[in-house]
Structure 1
């Protein structure tokens, strides 16, 4: 598992590397002292897992994750503060380790990562045809949220919104939650019709009503129904290419 360690303290990085030595499935491919370094290494090395400090000079760990375009690696936060736990799991963190890192807690975190990956691989192996099939506007999907169920034409879903370990689907006047990650849904959706606007949102391009310039070279898209979604600067370049003649 290709792993990147991100922490502004060199001694903390060295200690974590030492603690990770017994875990042969963890391949440390690089380390970074700040978010700027980390973004470059994430693009270059394509890690599958981040050990990420929260408080760093410049952008903090949450701001770093927000800056990652497309699929983000799995994340285990490492921090000296316990104030950020709830927010960490809003970012789909697999675990949250307090410094100094306890070897038993680290063991639990690694086990959680392995179980998560095994579950994903088993799900793919059980239904390879279904898992690999791209879904388009005319496909119908079954949605269950608590006691409520829907059988919905995918083209009616105008927005997919990440909510921690869940995704909120927006269609008609309904907003059910499904236990999926936004990344896993993105793999299943036809890229000709569904666009990853930012880390938290995928929009249905057929529902775009208005496009406006936004801060720092980004765009603000208004969907039919009134949802307003910001497209990040880097994604705005892709969006313009996709929507142009």
Structure 2
């Protein structure tokens, strides 16, 4: 089967070189489209079918991980980058492979063979199911520090204006997303909005107490204590049969 591919890289020469390499190794890949930024790539992915995406990481605007984080459905990805420090995050993002530039013919050939033989290229229904794996992780960037973490490892989110504080076991980064934007991406079976200011991971609660005002207070694994609104206290009681 000839794989329909998208190349996402802000450097025109890098895109040209990758297409040359694909031709040189006689890969069974047809490059349907190219994009030089994440916005253009997202528009293409949401409106066309691709079996494979070759994705750069460092680009103007949103980087490659942020693009994946904003997609509801994404084809299998092979990262192509000049930076080696993102390898772990790439594999946590379920990438097929992580190719360092300049890309070697043998590595490129092996990555494409892996995509074709390891069940990455699947039927449309299975693609959607696999894409949901991306929703199990979130890309977090605070200044120059980046994390790509499982949602199950997050403890809580707190609103700080147009920003959001992410509470993890060993860090509390501030990200440029509102609580409402995050809520749309979270599984309501696991995450619960306790007030206008906070969303908590129900699996990270260590104790629940009743306040003098008859609202609920939760203590989380990291020691964070948060008070629920009166309405959400009642909703929590109903949800948890509390």
Q: Classify the TM-score, shorter chain.
A: 0.5 to 0.7
**Partner in structure 1 of residue 111 of structure 2:** 109
Residues 84 and 106 from structure 1, CA distance in 2 versus in 1: closer, same or farther, beyond 3 angstroms? Answer: same
Is the CA contact 1:197–1:203 (under 8 Å) kept in the aligned structure 2? no
**Partner in structure 1 of residue 189 of structure 2:** 204
The answer for unaligned runs of 5 or more in structure 1 is 125-131, 133-159, 170-195, 214-219, 229-245
CA distance in 2, matches of 1:197, 1:64: 16
How far off is 1:197 after superposition?
Answer: 4.8
Residues 119 and 113 from structure 1, CA distance in 2 versus in 1: closer, same or farther, beyond 3 angstroms? Answer: closer
Bigger radius of gyration among the two: 2
How far off is 1:2 after superposition?
Answer: 2.2
Residues 212 and 74 from structure 1, CA distance in 2 versus in 1: closer, same or farther, beyond 3 angstroms? Answer: farther
| Alignment match of 1:6 (pick from 5, 8, 26) | 8
| Alignment match of 2:31 (pick from 28, 31, 45) | 28
CA shift digits 1:7-43 (9 cap, x unpaired): 011111011112223122x221200001111111111
**Partner in structure 2 of residue 143 of structure 1:** none
The answer for unaligned runs of 5 or more in structure 2 is 130-134, 139-147, 154-182, 206-219, 221-242
Is the CA contact 1:7–1:33 (under 8 Å) kept in the aligned structure 2? yes
Is the CA contact 2:5–2:31 (under 8 Å) kept in the aligned structure 1? yes
Residues 161 and 37 from structure 1, CA distance in 2 versus in 1: closer, same or farther, beyond 3 angstroms? Answer: closer
Residues 119 and 12 from structure 1, CA distance in 2 versus in 1: closer, same or farther, beyond 3 angstroms? Answer: closer
Is the CA contact 2:76–2:120 (under 8 Å) kept in the aligned structure 1? no
Residues 225 and 77 from structure 1, CA distance in 2 versus in 1: closer, same or farther, beyond 3 angstroms? Answer: closer
Number of residue pairs the alignment of both structures matches: 155
How far off is 1:209 after superposition?
Answer: 6.1
1:65-214 equivalence runs, <5 A = 65-68=68-71, 70-117=72-119, 161-162=136-137, 197-198=184-185, 202-204=187-189, 208=192, 210=194, 212=196
Is the CA contact 2:76–2:121 (under 8 Å) kept in the aligned structure 1? no
CA shift digits 1:64-101 (9 cap, x unpaired): 11111x22211100011111111111211110001111
Residues 119 and 43 from structure 1, CA distance in 2 versus in 1: closer, same or farther, beyond 3 angstroms? Answer: closer
Residues 225 and 95 from structure 1, CA distance in 2 versus in 1: closer, same or farther, beyond 3 angstroms? Answer: closer
**Partner in structure 2 of residue 56 of structure 1:** 59
| Alignment match of 1:46 (pick from 45, 49, 52) | 49
